[in-house]
Amino acid sequence: MTITPETYNDAWKNCLSQIEAQIPNDEFVRWFKPIVPLSYDGNILRLRLPDEESVYHIEHNYIPAIRPIIHSFFGNNIRVRYAVPQNVSADTPTEANTSPISSFVAQNDTTKIKNPFVIPGIKKLVIDSQLNSRYTLDSFVEGACNKLVRSVGEAVAQDPGRTAYNPFYIFGDSGLGKTHLAQGIGLEIKKKHPELQVLYVSMNKFQAQYTTAVLNKEPNDFINFYQMIDVLIIDDIQELSGNKSSTQNAFFNIFNHLHLTGKQLILTSDKRPSELSDINDRLLTRFKWGLAAELTPPDYETKVKIICNKARQVGKEIPMEVVEYLAENVNDNVREIEGVLSSLMANADFLKRKLTISLAKEVLKTYVKIDPKEVSIGHIRKVVCDYMDVSESDIDSPKRTRDIAQARQVAMYLSKKHTTLPLSVIGSSIGGKNHATVLHACKAVNNLMETDKSFARTMEELDRLLMQTAR
């Protein structure tokens, strides 16, 4: 469609319709509805604005958003100038000031922008990324549960704001490493692109800062600060749910500005975008613009790698049988794994105890709710006989060779340890013995574990096998 001097009013109305669809209604009514098109000569579109404040606000907050809209109707070579009346009440304004809107006013004078992360009074704007140096991508253990999310994170770090993954929305249950991954991406961006301003902030902190800015009558300064960030990482975006419309509008303005100017947004949440409630539909739509990727609970192999990695970070070596036992029994939560490891290390260091499966069991009973597994005498018999290379018929027989007798005693000891059955039932189920024989067997196994390290390791291995194969 060719715009002529006769049709520019209709074209401007179409521009306003698209602008209205992209910004909050109160912002549109305040800053754009009063604009009146004055003339169009094929090259220059003249617009009347009510005052210089409107000119300043639009130039500093909306140029990136409205430029492509104006270009789509009037062409890329259009020059926009605006007129500000000398007397606001006059019916016919005189042009007091003209300035091209086609050039974006960069926010280079940072001394005039208030930084909500520093103490008031500091003149020079210094942005601390608020990133934790421990949360690197290198220390984020990769597994089947997070391979896609980590790979996308690495792609974003290579070329922030220029991939299809903007915004990058990371979601998953609590304790799966969302914060670690998001901060790791931020740290990687800072390393590869030191010229970029990277900022990590939780949504709760963002809300508190905005509330303070409103009370101080500085909401525009707050928005200006966030709009100059190159990579914005918002943790726990679900906390925006149910907030006042003004807070959501402020975040909408920041999000829209950053996205339109090619800046990178990274959001984390414990909910899928479709599960968020009480959030403006325009924001929800924008959350789905890029890529939403899920972190799932780690599988057994990934938990083993996480435990080994965490142990190396603190300079500890954990026996593999203990690592495997923890991986089998700790719930699918990285944060819980870290807590159990800390407790295990504390017991080993301060109480001078060895890192064994027995110690791991004690720690797990205290700090982790373990789903009980059913261990039957029949299962114990089979595991012991397979491991000690004797047949089940042998331990039921009257034979008293050393290997058979020891296998019988071990089966009794483990049955007493892992079941609540009476000693008489245990004895009758293993060789047809009485309860006194079971007591003697348990005492003999305990004594041998204290004096023979090799036998003690055998018992730990049998414990591990029982837990791994129990139903």
Q: What is the pLDDT of residues 333-377, one digit of tens each?
A: 777 787 888 888 888 778 778 888 888 887 877 655 555 556 788
Which has the closest alpha carbon to 282: 67, 70, 72, 65? 65
Q: Do the beta carbons of residue 338 and residue 311 sit within 8 Å?
A: no
- Which residues of the chain register pLDDT less than 50? 87-112, 119-124, 471
Write down the pLDDT at residue 470: 62
Q: Give the helix/strand (H/E) hosting 282.
A: helix 281-287
Q: Give the helix/strand (H/E) hosting 246.
A: helix 245-260
In CATH, which superfamily holds the domain spanning 8-83?
DnaA, N-terminal domain (3.30.300.180)
Write down the pLDDT at residue 2: 62
Q: Do the beta carbons of residue 39 and residue 261 sit within 8 Å?
A: no
Sign of the CA dihedral 383, 385, 389, 392? Answer: negative
CA-based diameter of the chain, in Å?
117
Print burial letters for 107-117: b (CB count within 10 Å at least 16), e (below 16): eeebeeebbbe
Write down the pLDDT at residue 399: 85
Write down the pLDDT at residue 199: 94
Strand residue runs (E) in 309-435: none
Write down the pLDDT at residue 332: 64
DSSP character at residue 407: H
In CATH, which superfamily holds the domain spanning 147-294?
P-loop containing nucleotide triphosphate hydrolases (3.40.50.300)
Sheet containing 198-202, strands listed edge to edge, beginning at the edge strand earlier in sequence:
198-202, 231-235, 264-269, 168-171, 291-294
Query: CATH number of 300-367: 3.40.50.300, 2.60.40.1660, 2.40.50.140, 1.10.8.60?
Result: 1.10.8.60
Q: Which residue has the tokens 């003249």?
A: 46
Say which residues have a Cβ less than 8 Å from residue 264's Cβ, sequence separation at least 6: 156, 160, 161, 166, 167, 168, 189, 230, 231, 232, 258
Fold for the domain defined by 377-469: Chromosomal Replication Initiator Protein Dnaa; Chain: A; (1.10.1750)
Give CATH 3.30.300.180 domain extents, the chain: 8-83
Amino acid at 201: V
- Cis amide leading into 219 (omega within 30): no
Write down the pLDDT at residue 318: 85
Distance separating the N- and C-terminal Cα atoms of the chain: 72
Q: Do the beta carbons of residue 304 and residue 337 sit within 8 Å?
A: no
The tokens of 440 are what? 């003697």
Give CATH 1.10.8.60 domain extents, the chain: 300-367
Write down the pLDDT at residue 264: 95
Give CATH 3.40.50.300 domain extents, the chain: 147-294
Write down the pLDDT at residue 118: 53
The tokens of 89 are what? 């009440």
Give SS3 for 131: coil
Q: Do the beta carbons of residue 29 and residue 252 sit within 8 Å?
A: no
Amino acid at 156: V
Write down the pLDDT at residue 202: 93
Q: Give the helix/strand (H/E) hosting 370.
A: none
Which has the closest alpha carbon to 70: 21, 4, 24, 14? 14
